[in-house]
Structure 1
Amino acid sequence: MAKHREQETDLTLAEATDRIWELAKEIDVCMFVTWDGEYNRARPLSARVFREENAIYFLVNDHSAKNKQLSTYPKVTLAWVDSSHYKYVTISGRASATNDREKITQLWEKTDAAWWDNADDPEIRLITVKPDEGELWDSPGLVVATAKMVFAAMSGTKPNVGDNAKVDL
């Protein structure tokens, strides 16, 4: 699929793509959004972002509504927010839930012990998202953005409060 650009930024396509992956990894927890046939359903999940694998991984419980939703509607949207720095990223793609024990063990982190006993817990499942597209809103921060908005309001111009770019991943 050819990369496309829909942006309000001076970033190159490659820079925007890099920044999307970087922010997703940096922010960590995202809202994982599925479709259940009637409504979008969102829940916060810790993302394991691996650009070199073109994949984002999540450890989840075996018996969860999201796993069932993915079997029927595999397209998902992931949304990361760093509201204190005015940075936002969305990535959309196809997701699948598996019982890949080797990958689960590989991804296991100490904080996962809050949910499961260890990486061998039979209730753990792996969701893998293969991204299709991403979008970012990357502001220089509250003080700079506010100053630009005040200046724009006083001068009658439109403020440039950061980068916005949408790319195929």
Structure 2
Amino acid sequence: MTQENNNILPPDEAADRVWELAEKIDICMFTTWDGEQQRSRPMSARVRREENAIYFLTDLEGHKLQEIERYPHVSLAWADNGAHRYAVIAGDAIVSNDRAKIEQLWSAFDKAWWDDANDPQIRLLKVTPEDGEVWDSPNKLIAGAKMLFAAATGAKPEMGDTAKVDL
């Protein structure tokens, strides 16, 4: 898709949609840089717009903590393929051992990895967003119809809303 084939959203609306999609979709691809290549992994996001933060619980073991320490700029990508909606947030990440915040963010879902919020292996990742992008396309049926019409007429299809915005 090129920008000419999309509706450009106003900044306030784009920011709202980025935050809404991030919260709704939950699991994102959390991407770090190791100095040579990007590394992505799926993680459950705790989106807190009122704090201008996205939190993750992670284990003390693993490469991502060392990568963030050296290269704190990360990218988070959410995809709702069924609804053809996508959001990306880039920002800086920090790692902490804030036990009160870990306890506050703890959910039953986290029992898949740790016994409880007091596990000493848990660390908190906090991402402070700098900018985001949103692609909000029509559903699959409408998108397909638009592409068929474009193929038949030679016109470029309008495939939905898009925007890049400072957060």
TM-superposition CA deviations, 1:67-114 (whole Å, max 9, x none): 010010000000111111111111000001100000000000011011
Q: Give the structure-2-normalised TM-score.
A: 0.95
Q: For residues 1-150 of structure 1, what are the structure 2 equivalents within 5 Å?
A: 8-150=6-148
Q: Please identify runs of 4+ aligned residues in structure 1 that moved more than 6 A.
A: none
Amino acid at match of 1:109: S
In structure 1, how many angstroms separate the alpha carbons of the residues matched to 2:103 and 2:62? 20
Aligned to 1:3: none
In structure 1, how many angstroms separate the alpha carbons of the residues matched to 2:38 and 2:141? 34
In structure 1, how many angstroms separate the alpha carbons of the residues matched to 2:154 and 2:61? 55
Please state how far the C-alpha of 1:10 moved relative to its aligned partner.
4.8
In structure 2, how many angstroms separate the alpha carbons of the residues matched to 1:9 and 1:66? 36
Please state how far the C-alpha of 1:14 moved relative to its aligned partner.
0.6
In structure 2, how many angstroms separate the alpha carbons of the residues matched to 1:149 and 1:13? 27
8 Å Cα contact 2:74-2:90 kept in structure 1: yes
Q: Please, what is the CA RMSD of the aligned residues?
A: 1.3
Please state how far the C-alpha of 1:11 moved relative to its aligned partner.
2.7
In structure 2, how many angstroms separate the alpha carbons of the residues matched to 1:51 and 1:144? 31
8 Å Cα contact 2:8-2:163 kept in structure 1: no
Question: Structure 1: which 5+ runs fail to align?
Answer: 1-5
Task: Give identity over the alignment, percent.
Answer: 55
In structure 2, how many angstroms separate the alpha carbons of the residues matched to 1:9 and 1:49? 26
Aligned residues: 164
Please state how far the C-alpha of 1:140 moved relative to its aligned partner.
1.6
TM-superposition CA deviations, 1:122-161 (whole Å, max 9, x none): 1000000000010011112100111111112222211011
Please state how far the C-alpha of 1:164 moved relative to its aligned partner.
1.2
Question: Structure 2: which 5+ runs fail to align?
Answer: none
Q: Give the structure-1-normalised TM-score.
A: 0.94
